[in-house]
Amino acid sequence: MVEGEQELVARGCGKWSDPDVPKGGWSCTYVRDLGSGKDRHKICEMCEAIHIRFVHVMRHPIGLELEAGCICAGHMENNLAAARARDDDRKRAAERVARREKALVKARTQLGKIDVGTKSHDDMSLLVITKLERLRKIVARRVREAEKDARDHDYIVEHIEHSNFLGEVELAISKAKDRLKTLLARARAGQLALELERPVWWETSKGRRFTTSYNDRVQIFRQGDGKWSGLYQLAGDTDPTWAKQRYHDMEAAANAALTVLRHKLRKAGRLPE
């Protein structure tokens, strides 16, 4: 292909034989990639024969602008090495974009499979989040790479696609974490309900004490008049709340305190209604 372009220049094809078009003194403003599809390629406006994908936009001081291929552009600016370096740089960028596009298709498929997992396997939530976090790290790196090629080579659409997909992954992570929180809260509520149904009391010097696995506590005391009173304290509360009523026996005081504790835990959303 390169030798063919050289021959076209040497034979004066297209505008190379037009006396009104300068043959030197041109400069390249930028290189544009038309894409991989052959139907998107165009004919070099200088030799008017070569199909080009990477377009060197050439300008001349007299006001002319032409879109040329690599070899024609090199001869137009009298610096074939510079034109080839620009062309090679843009081709390498296009190869990077193509690799990332394939990776994006694969990542979308991977995300779809992970989403199916979050909907069908509650016990896999932690594994799902781990997979999503790993995917986010990979996609975030590709976004940074795409950002550089968008800035240096105008591959803006590709950068937007990767950025949007990163948003999809982050949304999936948020949903998976919310789901995990729900599952953990449900498990804690189930354990609390079981502990409150079958409380294990510890004897104290003045009565008894019951503490849940999450440090909610109920304590029963015998007062000086022989009656029983108690207090409860939810985990995280700074001060306990004392019962307003006194009871003639310890069991009645304990049951009343447990009833109040259940009510407070439901109100706090830690037990089902």
- Give the C-alpha distances (Å, rounded to integers) separating 247 from 216, 250, 255: 22, 7, 10
Residues of the chain with pLDDT under 50: 1-3, 116-121
Q: How far apart are CA 44 and CA 34, in angstroms?
A: 12
Task: Record the tokens describing residue 27, joined without a space.
Answer: 């400069």
Q: At 54, phi and psi to the nearest 5? A: -95, 110
Which residues are bridge partners to 229 per DSSP?
221
> Which helix (H) or strand (E) covers residue 171, if one does?
helix 156-197
To the nearest 10°, the Cα dihedral for 76, 81, 83, 88?
160
Q: How far apart are CA 112 and CA 135, in angstroms?
A: 12
Among the listed residues 112, 216, 212, the one whose alpha carbon sits nearest the alpha carbon of residue 165: 112
> Which helix (H) or strand (E) covers residue 161, if one does?
helix 156-197
Task: Record the tokens describing residue 128, joined without a space.
Answer: 């799902």
> Which helix (H) or strand (E) covers residue 174, if one does?
helix 156-197
Neighbours of 138 (CB within 10 A): 14
- Give me the pLDDT at residue 228, please: 93
- Give me the pLDDT at residue 192, please: 92
The interaxial angle of helices 250-267 and 156-197, nearest 10 deg, is 170
Of the chain, the percentage scoring pLDDT greater than 90 comes to 68
Pairing of strands 202-203, 27-33: unpaired
- Give me the pLDDT at residue 121, please: 47
**The model's pTM:** 0.72
- Give me the pLDDT at residue 122, please: 52
> Which helix (H) or strand (E) covers residue 177, if one does?
helix 156-197
